[in-house]
Amino acid sequence: MKINAGDSVMPGDVLGVSEQFLPDKWTYDDGNCIKAAVFGNVAIDDKSKMISIIPKSGSPALLKVGDSIYGQVTDVRGQRAVIDVQGMKNCDRQLALSYMGAIHISQVKNGYLEKLHDALRIGDIIEAKVTKIMGDNLDLNTIDKEGGIIKAMCTRCRAFMKITDKKDELYCEVCDRKERRKVSSNYNY
Ligand SMILES: [Zn+2]
């Protein structure tokens, strides 16, 4: 994947190899690649080779019930996953609050889900719908086909995983491992 100035990126997106750019604001070097730390647009200084992310900006937006959000799974425990909400879908503005979302196991997909780990894992980037708002706390669901994981890293080697022919299954080419997720129709790798 070739990154150009202005491209829209998500946390964890690879911007280039370490030899290619110098990490600047909102980017980091994981020892191998330069990656984006936040949602935003890429800026590249051609002279200094500094690469940075301009976070989504503009007048801050408040979420309402029915909005779709992007976020990162920070905890999966028992019947509940915790989501660090990072942006609103189809909205270039930053969020007015640092929202925390929760997804109950019954709100992940249609049908029975025995273990939450078979649908969501820590570090995954998800798309989800807001169903309830209490201040900066949100209830979310991923039941729609767009809802679910849009980017996942292998739990063994941390490489990004690819979708397979099978529903809700991801594959790691690096270590030849299959994992289950609730995969969004917008999965982007
Ligand atoms: Zn792997």
**Å from CA of 140 to ligand 1 middle:** 28
Nearest to 180 by CA among 115, 102, 103: 115
- C-alpha distances in Å from residue 30, one per residue of 36, 89, 93, 128: 10, 27, 28, 28
Fold that domain 57-189 belongs to in CATH: OB fold (Dihydrolipoamide Acetyltransferase, E2P) (2.40.50)
Residue 124: CA count within 13 A, CB half-sphere: 33
Max intra-chain CA distance, the chain = 55
* Residue 16 β-bridge partners: 34
**Å from CA of 178 to ligand 1 middle:** 8
3-state secondary structure of 63: coil
**Domain ranges within the chain, ordered by starting residue:** 8-55, 57-189
Question: Looking at per-residue confidence, does 96 or 164 come out higher?
Answer: 164
Calculate the average pLDDT of the chain: 92
What pLDDT is stored for residue 1 in this prediction? 62
**Å from CA of 171 to ligand 1 middle:** 8
Residue range 59-95, pLDDT digits in tens: 788 999 999 999 999 999 999 999 999 889 988 788 8
Quick check: do 8-55 and 57-189 share a fold?
Answer: yes
Q: What is the pTM of this model?
A: 0.76
Q: Are strands 22-23 and 50-55 parallel, antiparallel or unpaired?
A: parallel
**Å from CA of 179 to ligand 1 middle:** 10
The DSSP result for 16-41, as a single string, is: EETTT-EE-TTEEE-SSEEEE-SSEE
Cβ(115)–Cβ(109) below 8 Å? no
* Least confident among 4-13, 72-81, 177-186: 4-13
3-state secondary structure of 142: coil
**Å from CA of 104 to ligand 1 middle:** 27
**Å from CA of 25 to ligand 1 middle:** 29
* Residue 93 β-bridge partners: none
**Å from CA of 167 to ligand 1 middle:** 19
Residues 6+ apart with CB under 8 A from 26: 36, 37, 38, 40, 52, 53, 54, 55
**Å from CA of 124 to ligand 1 middle:** 14
What is the number of other CB atoms lying within 10 angstroms of the CB of residue 167? 9
**Å from CA of 164 to ligand 1 middle:** 14
Q: List CB-based neighbours of ion ligand 1 within 5 Å.
A: 154, 156-157, 159, 172, 174-175, 177
**Å from CA of 130 to ligand 1 middle:** 31
CATH number 1.10.3720.10 is the correct assignment for the domain at 8-55? no
**Å from CA of 161 to ligand 1 middle:** 8
- C-alpha distances in Å from residue 160, one per residue of 131, 152, 156: 29, 6, 11
**Å from CA of 122 to ligand 1 middle:** 15
3-state secondary structure of 141: strand
Provide the CA 42 distance to its chain's centre, in angstroms.
17
